[in-house]
Amino acid sequence: MVYLQLFISFMKIGFTSFGGMSMVPLILEEMSSHGWMTAEDLANLVAIAEMTPGPLGINCATFTGMQTAGLPGSIVAVLGVLMPAFTLTMVIAIFFEKFKDSAVMRSVMYFVKPICIAMILGVIVTLSRETYFGEAGILFFSVGIAGLMLYLLLRHKWSVPAVILSSAALGMLFYGVLPMLS
């Protein structure tokens, strides 16, 4: 029963807020109405959620679900808060499939595609500056990992998840484990 309550509570939060700090009053209301958290617990939750990477709503759902019902509760709460995005994506996909061959949709996509490409390139440039250049100059381990992963992706047809996991493992090794050993 608690799983259903978590799912419905966070689905309500996802559908009725606009993300970020606008979720906090709704989260407080839901948490206190179910007796899951006090106002002090929520203040701590928001502080932790703001410090960790990722959207506030997902972080709050993860922590609340974990505190309330363990890992399954965490998963259920996150699925609840993501339900609006899932729903909107499905509706858009249905409409896109229905109208993809229309002249209006082709015209819209003519302008949307270059904008999306420019946004992605902007993110790549920003992240590249952070990832590959440090105070001392070029971060050769990072460049090496990126080069190796690009090679494995293109030449050996590795899957994207395998490349991501391998990159993360190498990053943790070179930037986490090895510096601690020396």
Encode pLDDT of 112-146 as tens digits. Answer: 999 999 999 998 888 888 888 888 899 999 999 99
Domain ranges of the chain: 2-99, 104-181
> Torsions phi, psi of 137, nearest 5?
120, -140
Measure CA of the first residue to CA of the last residue in the chain; give whole Å.
50
Q: Cα(6)–Cα(81) distance, rounded to whole angstroms?
A: 10
Higher pLDDT, 44 or 166: 166
Query: What is the tens place of the pLDDT at every residue in 31-61?
Result: 888 888 887 888 888 888 877 777 888 888 8
φ/ψ (deg, to 5) at 35: 75, 20
Q: Would you state the pLDDT for residue 46? A: 81
Least confident of 50-59, 99-108, 147-156, 164-173: 50-59
Instruction: Put residue 55 in one of left, alpha, beta given phi > 0 → left and psi -120 to 50 → alpha.
Output: beta
Q: Where are the beta strands (DSSP E) in the chain?
A: 133-134, 137-138
Predicted local confidence at residue 42, as pLDDT:
81
Contacts of 75 (CB under 8 A, 6+ apart): 65
Give me the mean pLDDT over the 165-170 stretch. 93
- Phi, psi values for residue 37, rounded to 5°: -150, 155
Helices 56-99 and 2-16 cross at an angle (nearest 10°) of 70
